Amino acid sequence: MFADLHLHTNFSDGTYTPEELVMHARRHGLSAVALTDHDTVEGCARMSAACRQNGLEFVPGSELTAELDGVELHLIGYFIDTEHPRLLGEMAKFQSVRQNRIREMVARLNKLNIPLEAEAVFAIANCRSPGRPHVGRALVQAGFCATLDEAFERFLKKHRPAWVPKFKISAVDAMALIHEAGGVAVLAHPGLNRSDDVIPLLVEAGMDGIECYHTKHTPSTCERYLAVAEQSHLIVTGGSDCHGLNKGKPLIGTIKLPYSHVLELKSRADEVRRSRLTPRPLANPPVS
C-alpha cells in the first residue's frame, strides 16, 4: 500500500479538480492521498468524498507559507480539523493577502504596458487562494507569453519585474496554529528552501515531521534529510507536489510512499489531540 502526501488541486494553484486528482491517484495504485493546497482547506470536503467513493484513504492538509530567521519555509499541517474556527479565520487572512498580491502583480504588469486585468486572473484562478501560476496562465491566455515558463522567466520569478513578495506567517505561529487545529506540523521540501540552519529551531518549536521524499529532492538530498529525521526523532513524509498539468507531465505517481508513514502521522495526530485536552504541566508550579 502506497501514499502520496503532497498534492494540489484547483482550490489553489493545481489544475486538477479533487475528483480528477483522486481518479489519477487510483490509476497510479495509491491507497492514501493528502491534499495540501496552499493556504486553504476548501478542497478537502470534495477530495474526501471522492476518496470515499473510490476506496482511498484521505488525509486532510494544507501547505502554509512560513518563515523563520528570514528563511522561507513551507509547513504542511496534516490531519488538521478543516472546520477549526481559528484556522479558518487565519486562512481567510492569507487568502485576502494573496488576492491583494495578485492586484499588485497586475499593477506592475500594467506599468510595463501589459494591459492585463486582475479580474482576468481571478476568473482563471476561480479560487480564494490565487498565486503566481494563475497570473502566468492569464498572461498566456491573453497572448502576452507563449508558455507558463516564459511568464515566470520574464515577469513572475523572484526579482523579476512583476514579482511581489508573499506574506509569510512565522513558522512558530504556523506550527502552533496547526497543533491547535489538531494537526501534525511537517516541513515540506527542505531541499528547496535552504532551511537546514533553522531545522534545529523548528524542532525545538515543536515540529513533528520532515518531507524527505519529494520529486525535486535528489537521492542524496533525501538521504541527508532521512538522517536529520532519525537524529531529531521526526516523522518522515513524502509526496509528489503534483500541480496537475501546470508544468507538462503531472507528477502524481512519481512518489509512492509506504503506507506505514501514514500510520505514523495518524498516531502523532492522536497524540496532538490528546495533549490539547490535557493541560500542559506548568514550568514553574506555584508553591503551595
Distance from C-alpha of 26 to C-alpha of 33, rounded to nearest angstrom? 10
d(CA 286, CA 75): 36
Closest CB 270 distance from ligand AMP, rounded Å: 31
Beta carbon nearer to Fe ion, 39 or 90? 39
Q: Which is nearer to ligand AMP, 62 or 246 (CB)?
A: 246
Q: Is 48 a binder of ligand AMP (CB under 6 A)?
A: no
d(Cα 178, Cα 41) in Å, to the nearest integer? Answer: 12
70-89 residues near Fe ion, rule: CB under 5 A: 74
Task: Cell numbers for 256, please give them.
Answer: 509512492
Contact call for residue 154 and ligand AMP (CB under 6 A): no
Closest approach of ligand AMP to the CB of residue 245, in Å: 11
190 binds ligand AMP (CB under 6 A): no
Beta bridge partners of 236: 210
Place of cell 485576502: 96
Tell me how far apart the alpha carbons of residues 192 and 189 are, in angstroms, rounded to a whole number: 6
The residue ranges that bind Zn ion (CB under 5 A) are: 13
Q: Which one of 51, 80, 148, 174 is in contact with ligand AMP (CB under 6 A)?
A: 148
Distance CA 145, CA 149 (A): 9
CA 202 – CA 64 distance, rounded (Å): 14
Contacts for 195 with CB less than 8 Å, ≥ 6 apart: 68, 71, 73, 187, 202
Taking the least distance from each CB to ligand AMP, the nearer of 177 and 242 is: 242
Is residue 240 close enough to count as binding ligand AMP by CB under 6 A? no
Regarding 13 and contact with ligand AMP (CB under 6 A), the answer is yes
Interface residues with ligand AMP (CB under 6 A)?
13, 38, 131-133, 148-149, 152, 166, 243, 246-247
